[in-house]
Amino acid sequence: MQTTKSSVEEELFQVRKLELSDINKGFVDLLQQLTVCGSISDEAFEERFQDLAKYGDDHVICVIEDNNSGKIIATGSVFIEKKFIRNCGKVGHIEDVVVDSSVRGKQLGKKIVGFLSDHAKAMGCYKFILDCSLENKPFYERCGFKPKEVQMVKYFV
Ligand SMILES: CC(C)(COP(=O)(O)OP(=O)(O)OC[C@H]1O[C@@H](n2cnc3c(N)ncnc32)[C@H](O)[C@@H]1OP(=O)(O)O)[C@@H](O)C(=O)NCCC(=O)NCCS
């Protein structure tokens, strides 16, 4: 079978769920490219990882590992909110999408969002929502989102 560049990249850049050992593969460094993350000890990472694992499919963090370098180069998460409205409907919230600055523009962000979107749909969500900067609006539009209403925030720290 002929191996094309895209099939090699497809093989190299597969989306999977976060694993505990990803702390040693630059996962936290990648999050630092998104926002303030701070350094996280192995103990704190494991504690949070186990806490989140209790939510099962209602909270999923996915990653792309570069199989050549063994580094985590993209990530994103989805939280499934259970509601009473809409006949006890569910809403998927997408959070913390980031692609390593060295590999942006290679469709990896879109791949992460696609994985999270498929998950939200499979979980029975009637919609999938997110907050983003104006700068990232075109990216999410390319991923199939459209603007709706306004974002409000109140910080406690
Ligand atoms: C936003 C981000 C995740 C995009 O990831 P990426 O892998 O570079 O994006 P992709 O290559 O998958 O781009 C998908 C499409 O969006 C377009 N796109 C991506 N970023 C864009 C931008 N800033 N402006 C306009 N279009 C953009 C691409 O051209 C591509 O278009 P196409 O479908 O026509 O080919 C990445 O730039 C990033 O990590 N930024 C810093 C962290 C961040 O801001 N995260 C978002 C938090 S809400």
CATH code of the domain covering residue 85: 3.40.630.30
Which of 136, 140, 145 should be mutated for ligand 1, with most atoms under 8 A from CB?
136
Per-residue pLDDT of the chain (157 residues; tens, 9 = 90+): 555 666 667 777 999 999 999 999 999 999 999 999 999 999 999 999 999 999 999 999 999 999 999 999 999 999 999 999 999 999 999 999 999 999 999 999 999 999 999 999 999 999 999 999 999 999 999 999 999 999 999 999 8
Beta partners for residue 76, in sequence order: 62
Give dist(CA 18, CA 95) in Å, integer. 14
Asked whether residue 155 is domain-assigned, the answer is: no
Ligand 1 site, residue 145, Cβ cutoff 6 A: no
Which distant-in-sequence residues (6+ apart) come within 8 Å of 93 by Cβ?
78, 79, 80, 81, 128, 129, 130
Asked whether residue 43 is assigned to any structural domain, the reply reads: yes
Q: How many domains does the chain have?
A: 1
Tokens representing 77 are: 């998460």
- Whole domain around residue 51: which residue ranges? 5-142
Q: Which two tokens stand for residue 41?
A: 């000890």
Q: Is residue 137 part of a domain?
A: yes
Q: So what's the pLDDT on residue 121?
A: 98
Whether residue 147 is contained in a domain is answered as: no
- Of all protein residues, the one whose alpha carbon is nearest to atom 31 of ligand 1 is 142
Q: Is residue 40 part of a domain?
A: yes
What secondary structure does DSSP assign to 29-74, as a single string?
HHHHTTS------HHHHHHHHHHHHTTGGGEEEEEEEETTTTEEEE
Choose among 93, 90, 67: nearest CA to 78. 93
Q: From the CA of 142, how far away is ligand 1's center (Å)?
A: 8
Rounded Cα distance, 82 and 65, in Å: 31
- Ligand 1 atom with least separation from CA of 105: 11
The pLDDT tens digits of the residues spanning 92-130 come to 999 999 999 999 999 999 999 999 999 999 999 999 999
